[in-house]
Structure 1
C-alpha cells in the first residue's frame, strides 16, 4: 500500500476529530482508541501518526464540539439579551435530548471532564465553554447567566438519564416553564 499524501493525512485527521467529537459526546471518553479508529475506518496504528495521545485527541475533539455547538440554534441570543424562548425550547427539546452526539458538549462531557479525562487542558477548555454558554444566557450586565445555564444543562442531563420515561418529558417542560417565567 502506498504512502498517504499530506492532504489525505490532514483529511483523515479531520475525519477522526469530527467523528470522535460525536463519539465522546455520545459514549464518553472511555471509548477505546481501537473503537475510535474502527469507527472512522482507520487502523489503530494510524492513530499515533495523527495524535500524541488519547488526551490530545479528546482536547481537539472537545474544541470542535464547542465550535459546532456555537452554531446551534439553541446558542443564539435574543436581541434584548439572553436566549430567546425559541432557543430555550430548542435546547430543552426531546430532539436535543436524543441527539447526544450532535448536542451540547457542556451536558454531554461534564462527567468525563469531572473524572479527569483529557487532563487539565481539557478542563480549561470545558470551563471556557461553560463560561461562554453562561454569557449567552445573561439577560443584562448585572446577570452572569449561571442560574439559567445550570437549569438548562441540569435539566438536559436529567432528561437524558430518564429518557423513555414520562419523567424525562416533565423535566424538560418544568425547566422551560421556569426559564420562561423567570427571565
Structure 2
C-alpha cells in the first residue's frame, strides 16, 4: 500500500528524530537500522524507501543536529548581555551530562567520528569550525587572532568537560569538571549553577 507524500515525509522525519537521539545515546556503531526503525514504530524494510544506507542517515542526522546547535547557540548569544557566560551556563550543565540523547552532538559523537572518514567527519569538521567562529566573537581577546585562539581553547574546554563529566561515576567529580571549567572560562567569574 502506497503512502501519501505527506505521510512519507512524516515517516522520514520520525526516523531522523529517533535516530538523532539513539545515535547520541549509543553512537553510530552502537545502534542498527532495525533498532532505529523499531523505535520509530516502523518496519526494518521501510528504511530503504527513505535512505540508501545507515551512513546516509548518519550524515543527515549529523547535519541537522549541527544546524540545531548553531541555531541554539546563536539564540543564547543574542539574548544575553553576557553571551559567553550564558553559553557556558547552558552548555556546562547537568542536563548536558545526564541527557546525551538530547544534548550536544559533538560531545556525544566526537570520539566515534574521530575514528572514521568520509562525509560525516567532514560535516563535523565544518561544524566545529563554525562553533569556533561563533565563540571568537564573544570570548575575550585584544585582536581577532587572539580571540580565535581563545575560541579554540574555550570550545575544547567546554566539550572536554562534558565528556569527562559523563565518564565518571562520582556526581561530585562530574560536577567539578563542569563547574570548575565554567568558572575558569567565565568572563563574569560568577555564573552560578
TM-score by length of 1: 0.89
Q: SS of 1:124's equivalent? A: helix
Alignment of 1:30-69 (within 5 A): 30=29, 31-69=31-69
Q: CA RMSD in A?
A: 2.4
Residue 70 (structure 1) aligned with residue 79 (structure 2): no
Residues 1:82 and 1:110: Cα distance change in structure 2 (over 3 Å): farther
Q: CA deviation at 1:55?
A: 0.3
Choose from 161, 171, 177 the match for 1:155.
161
- Counterpart-to-counterpart distance in 2, 1:49 and 1:26: 25
Residues 1:98 and 1:71: Cα distance change in structure 2 (over 3 Å): farther
Structure 2 unaligned spans of 5+:
none
- Counterpart-to-counterpart distance in 2, 1:182 and 1:85: 7
- The equivalent residue for 2:22 is 23
Residues 1:151 and 1:179: Cα distance change in structure 2 (over 3 Å): same
TM-score by length of 2: 0.84
- The equivalent residue for 2:186 is 180
- Number of aligned residue pairs: 180
- Counterpart-to-counterpart distance in 1, 2:102 and 2:70: 12
Q: CA deviation at 1:115?
A: 2.1
Q: SS of 2:52's equivalent? A: coil
Greater mean deviation of Cα atoms: 161-170 or 123-132: 161-170
